Structure 1
Amino acid sequence: MMYDQSRAQQPPDKQPGSSGRRTPGPEPLIPSDERDKLTQRLQHALNTFADSPREALEDAETAFDEVTAQLMSTLAERRRLLHATWQDQDPGTEPEELRHALRQYREITQRMLRM
């Protein structure tokens, strides 16, 4: 069977044989509770800038560093899990299983490129 590039580029809900049902969207890269805490910290830094600019900048930098660390950790774990799904597969693995892994790589990479 040949690789079907146009089919591989279709969103998962447009694949032949799919029910058309989709989850509300991709899983967030940072959990919502953690995202809320970091957003509050950044907002606090913005609100306190007039009174203490240096402290506000330090707070903003800390929030930035924590977001960066969280993203790196999440992406490394997703890569590890995704790699494990296809790397140890038998060479005779169904192309559909490999296509699913390819779609996941595409989705994550595209999300990062849109940042």
Structure 2
Amino acid sequence: MYDQTRAQQPADRPADPGGHRSLGPDPLIPSDGRDKVVRRLGHAVNAFADAPREALKEAESAFDEATDALLKALAERRRVLRAGWQDQDPETQNTELRLALREYREITGRLLRA
């Protein structure tokens, strides 16, 4: 039977141990990068009372780091997606093209909702 939720998941999404695709989209920024930025922001918040200007500089730097990581992650996703369909034979299956379109739509939608 057709499972609409499962069909909407990107083909490259890793399956969980039960063999099902994980629910929800993959994070745009890898967890190690997110964790580092979160720690820096937390430090800036905690340091604000004692050194407000330095805290703001640290928060701004964490913001810059997050935006750089996001841009790099999006560029890599685009590269991988494009490689999957751009140089394919013109007879490429519509299913493969549809999956790439779905992934572009999902990522763009997430960016617009952010």
TM-score (norm: length of structure 2): 0.80
Read off the aligned partner of 1:63 and give its amino acid letter.
A
How far residue 63 of structure 1 moved from its aligned partner, in angstroms, is 0.1
| Rg (Cα) greater in structure | 1
Read off the aligned partner of 1:13 and give its amino acid letter.
R
Q: Which residue of 1 aligns with 2:41?
A: 42
Structure 1: which 5+ residue stretches go unaligned?
1-9, 16-20
Structure 2: which 5+ residue stretches go unaligned?
9-19
Runs of 4+ in structure 1 displaced over 6 angstroms?
Answer: none
Q: Which residue of 1 aligns with 2:71?
A: 72
Read off the aligned partner of 2:109 and give its amino acid letter.
Q
Q: Which residue of 2 aligns with 1:13?
A: 6
Q: Aligned partners of 1:11 and 1:23: how far apart in 2?
A: 14
Q: Which residue of 2 aligns with 1:92?
A: 91
How far residue 22 of structure 1 moved from its aligned partner, in angstroms, is 2.6
| Equivalent residues, number | 101
Q: Which residue of 2 aligns with 1:52?
A: 51
**Cα RMSD between the aligned structures?**
1.8
TM-score (norm: length of structure 1): 0.80
Q: Aligned partners of 2:39 and 2:45: how far apart in 1?
A: 10
How far residue 79 of structure 1 moved from its aligned partner, in angstroms, is 0.5
